[in-house]
C-alpha cells in the first residue's frame, strides 16, 4: 500500500506543558504553605485547592513527557485518496485529571455558597458524566462522538445553571462578603468552563486546530481555572469563618 499514514502530534507543546507543570507545582506549594499559617479548622479551601493543582501538576508532567495520549483516527479525512488515515494525538490523561479536579473545583464553589451536601453530590455526579462523555467521545472515531459531546454539553448546562442561579442566591443569603467571594469565583468558572467544550470541538472533536494550538488553548484555560481560580477563592475567604458555611 503506497498510501501514507499521517499523525498529528505536538512538536512545541512539550515546553509549554513543562512550564505549566512548574506553575501547578508552585501553586500547590503556596496553597499548602498558606494552609499552615491557619488554624486547622480554617484550612478546608486551602486543602481542596492544593489538591486540584497537585493533580494537575502530574497530568502536565505526563503530557510534557509525551505520555498519556493515544493516536485516534480522524474520521473526516478517511476518504482522502492520498492519506490513508490521519491520526490525532488524543491526550486522555487530561480527562483523568478533570475527573478528579472538576469535582473538587465544584466543592470549592458549592461549599463557599453553603449548599447542602445532597445538592453538591448530585452536581458532582453530573460533572463526572460530563467528563466521561467527553473522554468517550474523544476516543470514538465515528461521528457518534458528537452524540457523547451533546450529552456532555447538557450536563455542563445544568452545572452552570446551578452555579449562576441556585448557588449564587444561596451565597448572597449568607452575607454580602460570602456573596462577593462566590460571585467572583463562580462567574470566572462559568465563563471558563463554557470555553472547554469549544476547545474540545476544535481539537478532539473536529481536529480543526493542531495539537500545538491545543496545548495553548487548554493550557491557558487550565492555568486560569486552577491556580488563578484557587488564588481568587482563597483570597475571597479571608475573614470568612468556615463555621458560617456549616464547615
Ligand atoms: C468536555 C467535552 C464534552 C462536553 C463538555 C466538556 C466540558 C469540559 C469542562 C472541563 C473543565 C475542566 C477544568 C479543568 C481544570 O482546570 C468534557 C470537554 C461540556 C467544562 C475546569
Torsion of CA 100, 146, 193, 225, to 10 degrees: 50
ipTM > 0.85 for the complex: yes
- Of 185, 182, 163, nearest in space to 173 by CA: 182
As for ligand 1, residues whose beta carbon falls within 6 Å of it are: 98, 101-102, 105, 130-131, 133-134, 149, 152-153, 156, 193, 196-197, 200, 222, 225-226
Sheet (strand 70-73) strand order: 4-8, 83-90, 70-73
Over residues 28-35, the mean pLDDT reads 98
Q: What is the pTM of this model?
A: 0.94
Q: What is the pLDDT of residues 95-131, one digit of tens each?
A: 999 999 999 999 999 999 999 999 999 999 999 999 9
Atom of ligand 1 nearest to the CA of 159: 20
Decide if pLDDT at 4 tops 80.
Answer: no
Residue in 182, 95, 83, 100 with CA at minimum distance from that of residue 132: 95
pLDDT recorded at residue 11: 79
Beta-carbon contacts of residue 210 (< 8 Å; ≥ 6 apart): 8, 10
Instruction: Determine the atom of ligand 1 nearest the C-alpha atom of 131.
Output: 17
**Do 119 and 132 contact (CB within 8 A), yes or no?**
no
pLDDT in tens, 198-232: 999 999 999 999 999 999 999 999 999 999 999 99
Per residue in 172-181, pLDDT (tens digit) is 999 999 999 9
Q: From 141, 32, 152, 147, select the one nearest 98 (Cα to Cα).
A: 152
Residue 13's pLDDT band, with cuts at 50, 70 and 90, is confident
- Protein residue closest via CA to atom 17 of ligand 1: 134
Give the distance (Å) from ligand 1 centre to CA of residue 94.
10
pLDDT band with cut points at 50, 70 and 90 for residue 87: confident
- The answer on pLDDT for 1 being more than 80 is no
Burial class (CB in 10 A: 0-12, 13-18, 19+), 129: middle
Residue nearest to atom 11 of ligand 1 (CA): 193
Amino acid at each position: 500500500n503506497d498510501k501514507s499514514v499521517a499523525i498529528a502530534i505536538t512538536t512545541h507543546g512539550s515546553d509549554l506543558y513543562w512550564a505549566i507543570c512548574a506553575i501547578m507545582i508552585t501553586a500547590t506549594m503556596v496553597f499548602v504553605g498558606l494552609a499552615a499559617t491557619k488554624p486547622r479548622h480554617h484550612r478546608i479551601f486551602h486543602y481542596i485547592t492544593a489538591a486540584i493543582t497537585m493533580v494537575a501538576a502530574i497530568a502536565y508532567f505526563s503530557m510534557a513527557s509525551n505520555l498519556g495520549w493515544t493516536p485516534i483516527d480522524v474520521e473526516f479525512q478517511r476518504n482522502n485518496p492520498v492519506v490513508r488515515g490521519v491520526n490525532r494525538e488524543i491526550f486522555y490523561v487530561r480527562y483523568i485529571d478533570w475527573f478528579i479536579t472538576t469535582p473538587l473545583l465544584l466543592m470549592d464553589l458549592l461549599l463557599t455558597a453553603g449548599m447542602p451536601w445532597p445538592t453538591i453530590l448530585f452536581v458532582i455526579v453530573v460533572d463526572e458524566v460530563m467528563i466521561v462523555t467527553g473522554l468517550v467521545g474523544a476516543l470514538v472515531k465515528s461521528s457518534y462522538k458528537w452524540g457523547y459531546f451533546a450529552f456532555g454539553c447538557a450536563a455542563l448546562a445544568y452545572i452552570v445553571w446551578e452555579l449562576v442561579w441556585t448557588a449564587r442566591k444561596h451565597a448572597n443569603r449568607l452575607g454580602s462578603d460570602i456573596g462577593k467571594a462566590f460571585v467572583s469565583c463562580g462567574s470566572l468558572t462559568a465563563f471558563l468552563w463554557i470555553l472547554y467544550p469549544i476547545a474540545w470541538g476544535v481539537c478532539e472533536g473536529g481536529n480543526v486546530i493542531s495539537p500545538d494550538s491545543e496545548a495553548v488553548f487548554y493550557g491557558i484555560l487550565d492555568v486560569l481555572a486552577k491556580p488563578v481560580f484557587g488564588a481568587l477563592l482563597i483570597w475571597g475567604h479571608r475573614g470568612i469563618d468556615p463555621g458560617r458555611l456549616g464547615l
